[in-house]
A = this chain, B = another copy of it.
Amino acid sequence: MSVPGEVNGGFATGDLIHLNGNSLGPPRTDLLDRLGTVVSEQWARGQVRAWFRDGWLDLPRTVGDKLSPLLGAAPGQVVVAGDTTSTTLFNALVAACRLRDRPVVLVEGDAFPTDLYLAASVARLLGRELVVESRDGFDAYLGEHGDRVAVALAAPVDFRTGRRRDIGSTTALCHAVGALSVWDLCHAAGVLPTNLDTNNVDLAIGCGYKYLGGGPGAPAFLYVAERWQSEVDFPLAGWHGHAEPFAMTPDFVPATGIDRGRNGTPPLLSLVALDHALDPLVAVGIDELHRRAKALGEAFLDALRPDVEVVSPRDPDQRGGHLALRVPDADAVEHGLAERNVLVDARPPDLIRVAFAPLYVTPEHVRRAAEAIHSVLSPPN
């Protein structure tokens, strides 16, 4: 497989090799300029009027629309309400459950732990039953007890191994038994095509600070398929999700369209940073981002010594944007690599994850990273 020779510049990577874009990538070099415009020109000069004059009030929707092509969503279905990923997942799960009067919330045991915590919390609040299954058990449960399932929560990329779950077929499996699907796209958005519309996804959420590059704790996004937007009923009924936010009526009247997914006043600086981060991703496009990430992954594997155990699928079409390697001591290897200016992510006790965010990782980087791994695993004499 050919390896891309070019990389989009403009990232403040310093002398570091950033193979943890699945966790937090580097900032763009011009982020401070953008923040300066917001603080010094819009905020200081326009003050509260900037919410209207400078489009702040619309940002949750305009950032959502900017993000949409990366997710395979037509405009008007994605919003960045300004809450954390955990909160956004909570909101989506409650709303999805309310669309199906059935007893079970189904989730994979290998889901990111917060997904398990919030699914349990939602099940308890709504008097539903949380069913946690293995990867294969998840599909089997849908097959055998699907008529009991209100909502199935799944992720297209296993956060540990990178192994993919097909969005289209899983969603079809849910729909065949009358269940709704909620997708956690945290480890996919920005590196893997998710084709939410053509895959007939119901609701999805994802965080802004992994491959999307929005920076530490960037707010999460929410996708609501257009067909659900007039029925969906969110528990987080903040005033920005009201049909007339400034009417200040005593009763909540939900907005139409994706604005219904809005909540309180969003954390603007963090939202602007996410908005800024999306530009180069959108310019390249999700298919090309995915192609480059795959090529980088293959180049890394080509350079890796065969005795290093790769936990992820070897077929690049069976994994997301990262690879997991088994090592004797994940924390020690992570630290050893950091000393060599290679940033990876440790999953103790024995996994490190190596991610190929294609805007700031080069073929040269992945070759040097493989060498550094060899050096850390068997220090030269």
A76 close to B (CB within 8 Å): no
Contact with B along A25-55 (1 / 0, CB 8 A): 0110001100110011001110111110000
Q: Is the CB of A263 within 8 A of B84?
A: yes
Closest to A56 in B: B216
Q: Is the CB of A44 within 8 A of B20?
A: no
Q: How far is the CA of A159 from the CA of B163 in the complex (A)?
A: 51
A134 shortest CB reach to chain B, Å: 12
| Chain A contact residue count (CB 8 A cutoff) | 79
Q: From A167-175, A269-277, A278-286, A313-321, give the one contacting chain B.
A: A269-277
On whether A269 and B216 interact (CB within 8 A), knowing A118-B237, A250-B113, the answer reads: yes
Q: Is the CB of A87 within 8 A of B85?
A: no
Closest to A115 in B: B239
Which B residues touch A156, using CB under 8 A?
none
A250 shortest CB reach to chain B, Å: 5
Q: How far is the CA of A217 from the CA of B267 in the complex (A)?
A: 4
Which B residues touch A84, using CB under 8 A?
81-83, 238, 263-267
Contact with B along A253-265 (1 / 0, CB 8 A): 0000000000111
Which B residues touch A215, using CB under 8 A?
39, 43, 268-269
Q: Is the CB of B47 within 8 A of A24?
A: yes
Q: Is the CB of B236 within 8 A of A343?
A: no
A219 close to B (CB within 8 Å): yes
Q: Is the CB of B44 within 8 A of A26?
A: yes
Which residues of A approach B to under 8 Å, CB–CB? 12-14, 16, 18, 20, 23-24, 26-27, 31-32, 35-36, 39-40, 43-45, 47-51, 56, 81-87, 90, 94, 109, 113-114, 116-118, 120-122, 125-126, 132, 207, 209, 215-220, 235-239, 242, 248-252, 263-271, 273, 338, 343, 345, 347
